[in-house]
Structure 1
Amino acid sequence: MSDVMYLGFQREVQEEQSWLSFLRGWCVHVADRLAYLDAIIWELELCREGSSVVHFLVEWRSGDDVVLADAVMYFRGIHEFEAQKLDNLFLFLQASVAQVARRRQFVARFSGV
């Protein structure tokens, strides 16, 4: 009976470790998305700052400046959401790591019995 329980606890630890791996991958994905959004925002702001030069080269239609400013605000909003999501993922990851550590301690104590 003790072997069955030990193997069951070991299986739970393995499942939690696979969950941690998934969370770490998701954190990398969100961090990459933030870098991508940073690049988009930087390009849009560069275009907005250089729009006075563009006015001389190309006639802008009315409202183009507003559309550009709205695009910057839109991507900043997405960036803030993704940054908050990444912070929450890190908190969840820390809690999950602590949970796995507690389970490993329990398995170690159980295996000594």
Structure 2
Amino acid sequence: MSRYVEVHLGALASSSPVRLQVGDVVRFAASGGRVDEGTAVELLGIFTPGLVGADGEVIVPVGPPSAVLFRACEPGEATVEVMTGDPWRSSHIRSVAVAVT
């Protein structure tokens, strides 16, 4: 069964890869991201949160995106870059190694 995995960048050792299984979806609390190298993962998208109100309408806050999702699509290794901070003023880029089995 596939897993939904949340990665907290502050708790992740920079030398340790995130170990996933094919089909897993991984979420980073970030304002941007991309696959830097490898084909083991794909970027699903960069998202802004939303809530469904009582009338069925989706309510979305104003501000930058706050979630980046990747999917482990095949065994192998990849490197993703995750951008945190304000994407229009002071963003920070962190490279994260990913190993997919």
Structure richer in strand, relative to its length: 2
Structure (1 or 2) with the larger CA radius of gyration: 1
Question: How high is the TM-score relative to the length of structure 1?
Answer: 0.19
Question: How high is the TM-score relative to the length of structure 2?
Answer: 0.21
